[in-house]
């Protein structure tokens, strides 16, 4: 069995939209079979500049899956599409 794909959530502490996106990802992970990596953009100046006004941002490898505002159903559909191809 291969490694599970990694879905990355870029966010920051105190971001309620990031918390909601994380909750959605945790709900989807068992069904879709991916691991979650949480990245605090405040720990890296380049990430902070890149994502400050877009968080939360969800990626799968180099593919941007979603960014704020993230809708649960859209996130699920997009991840399903990317992970099943």
pLDDT in tens, 38-58: 999 999 999 999 999 999 999
DSSP H helix total and E strand total for the chain: 3, 4
Which CATH fold would you assign to the domain 6-83? Glutaredoxin (3.40.30)
| Tokens of residue 43, six digits | 């720990």
pLDDT value of position 2: 67
Domain residue ranges of the chain, discontinuous segments joined by +: 6-83
pLDDT in tens, 7-37: 999 999 999 999 999 999 999 999 999 999 9
pTM: 0.94
Give the end-to-end CA distance of the chain in Å, rounded to a whole number. Answer: 17
């Amino acid at each position: 069995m291969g490694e599970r794909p990694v879905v990355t959530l870029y966010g920051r502490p105190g971001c309620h939209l990031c918390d909601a996106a994380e909750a959605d990802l945790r709900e989807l992970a068992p069904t879709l079979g991916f691991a979650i990596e949480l990245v605090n953009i405040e720990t890296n100046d380049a990430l902070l500049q890149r994502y400050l006004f877009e968080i939360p941002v969800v990626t799968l490898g180099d593919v941007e899956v979603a960014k704020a505002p993230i809708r649960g159903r859209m996130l699920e559909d997009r991840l399903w599409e990317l992970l099943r191809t």
